[in-house]
Structure 1
Amino acid sequence: MSLSQTQVNLPEVVQEVTRLFLDYESALMRNDADALNAYFWQHPAVTRYGINDRQLGHEALVAYRASVPAPDFTRTLHDVRITAFGPDMAVAMCEFKRSDTDLHGFQTQTWVRLPEGWRIVSAH
């Protein structure tokens, strides 16, 4: 199946995934592990890469979240880009600036609409 240009960046998909992406960011800054875990696909193939960590599978992701302390910094997002490919898949990307360092970070999430709703299937 190939995608037509009219299926790229469907406004309703971009709007929905943007809302989810920003809700995820809010949960991240609150260290709401239950909410964060719920955003991810509950499957052994889900993958998350962090700065110096990685989680392969939902069980590993849940264990990681349980060990992470609440952040003592804030983040400001820049250049948030949501690109939708059809009605059921989108990639969310941003640059962020933490309050505790001059370094900039980058974040990418692949979102897929599954029967249970939109879920992150891969994050970095």
Structure 2
Amino acid sequence: MIINDPARLAEVTAAFHAYEAALMANDVPAMDALFHAAPTTNRYGVGEVLYGIEAIRAFRKGRGGSPPRRLGQVAITVYGDAFATIDAEFFRENSSRRGRQSQSWVRFGTGVYGGWKVVSAHVSLEGDSR
């Protein structure tokens, strides 16, 4: 198995940054397109636990957008040609708390429904350091 094949790494990196841009713009259709449309796709957030793409879609529609943030360190690793993990730190505006985001991505071939898709995501904030 090849780890971090340059071509696959570039694809996943581009998909991750497309997702981040969609998140900051509250572009729900773009975010939705980057998540695997299946009942097996899950997302744990800071205040929610979402099982299945329909729960994720309902949350996004009712949320009104993500708080503005900037990325810290991002670690992307691609295993073979169809699986990748992304771990990212983020910092919300006007907050000293570090956020953490982990995503598992799978490559589903090509075409309209193909490409790299998030199949699992977890977002959390570090506890108060006081």
Is the shorter-chain TM-score for this pair beyond 0.5, marking a shared fold? yes
How far apart in 2 are the matches of 1:50 and 1:74?
16
Look up the match of 2:127: none
Cα distance per residue 1:26-67 (max 9 Å; x no partner): 100111111111111111010001001021001111111110
How far apart in 2 are the matches of 1:56 and 1:123?
11
Alignment of 1:60 with 2:55, yes or no, is yes
Provide the aligned C-alpha RMSD in A. Answer: 1.1
Q: Percent of counterpart pairs with the same letter?
A: 40
Tell me the TM-score normalised to structure 1 length: 0.90
How far apart in 2 are the matches of 1:110 and 1:12?
18
Look up the match of 1:76: 70
Say how many residue pairs are matched. Answer: 118
Q: Unaligned regions of 5+ residues in structure 2, if any?
A: 123-130
How far apart in 2 are the matches of 1:53 and 1:44?
16
Look up the match of 1:99: 93
Q: CA deviation at 1:70?
A: 2.8
Q: Unaligned regions of 5+ residues in structure 1, if any?
A: none
Tell me the TM-score normalised to structure 2 length: 0.86
Q: CA deviation at 1:118?
A: 1.1
Q: What secondary structure does 2:8 align onto?
A: helix
Aligned partner of 1:118 among 110, 116, 119: 116
Q: What secondary structure does 1:100 align onto?
A: coil
Consecutive aligned runs of 4 or more in structure 1 exceeding 2 Å deviation: none
Q: Residue type matched to 2:84 in 1?
A: A
